[in-house]
Amino acid sequence: MIKALIFDVFGTCVDWRSSVAREVAAVLPGVDALAFATAWRAEYDPAMARIRDGARGYVPLDDLHLENLDTVARAFGVRVPDRWALNAAWERLDPWPDVLEGLVALQAQAIIAPCSNGSIALMTRLARYAGLPWDCILGADLARDYKPRPEVYLASCAALRLAPAEVMMVAAHNDDLAAARAAGLATGFVPRPEEHGPGQERDLRAESDWDIVAADFRDLARRFAALCGG
């Protein structure tokens, strides 16, 4: 019944916070790297919001990340020696420990692909760095819009020539799944209680009756097999 699983990536598959902080620490030694990474990420949603609202045409996330880096560098009062090199930190994010094993087990059962707000270029380079075995790259670039706009989920299903009900969106974020469900997709939740570091308050648990609620990607693969009779 479900023929493809599509995945949120930042936070769900990879630990952007500690990975970006590592890259920041390497080039900005005097800076609080975790705080810098958190501030950089905090600019993410407002930057996309202007595009989702139509106030600005589609700009790939690579370019938004660079603009946001400039904003955060100003706020921290630092000069970044090579802005594009540090911007590529988003292509070098480490997967959570359960992800590779889980994806391999899921790939044996269905098509797997990212449905991220990252561009095809960014997702391709990240997959090579992290070893994510995607069958193809879907997401924002196909729709030229950003999640949680329904067009992004629907364009990803259409690219696979599947109906939304034949596709499961997997995310660690309840709002991503709510938007996917509203667009007609099946939903799978995996918590990432350390995405935002210790003291994280949001998305600690499933906030709706998602089709699968799993402990991690290995558990997701087992539950998906049970759901689909595999």
In the complex, which residues of this chain contact a second copy (CB under 8 A)? 60, 62, 111, 113, 119-121, 123-125, 127-128, 134-138, 141, 159-162
Pairing of strands 212-213, 94-95: unpaired
State which residue, 63 or 207, has the beta carbon closest to a second copy: 63
Distance from chain centroid for Cα 211: 19
State which residue, 28 or 123, has the beta carbon closest to a second copy: 123
Q: Provide the minimum distance between the beta carbon of 159 and a second copy in the complex, in angstroms, as a whole number.
A: 4
Q: Provide the minimum distance between the beta carbon of 13 and a second copy in the complex, in angstroms, as a whole number.
A: 16
Contact 27/51 with Cβ under 8 angstroms? no
Q: Provide the minimum distance between the beta carbon of 61 and a second copy in the complex, in angstroms, as a whole number.
A: 11
Q: Provide the minimum distance between the beta carbon of 131 and a second copy in the complex, in angstroms, as a whole number.
A: 11
State which residue, 159 or 171, has the beta carbon closest to a second copy: 159
**Closest of 18, 11, 47 to residue 35, by C-alpha:** 18
State which residue, 104 or 213, has the beta carbon closest to a second copy: 104
Q: Provide the minimum distance between the beta carbon of 136 and a second copy in the complex, in angstroms, as a whole number.
A: 4
Number of residues that make up the chain: 230
State which residue, 60 or 193, has the beta carbon closest to a second copy: 60
Contact 11/173 with Cβ under 8 angstroms? yes
3-state secondary structure of 29: coil
3-state secondary structure of 209: coil
Return the H-helix or E-strand segment holding 5: strand 4-7
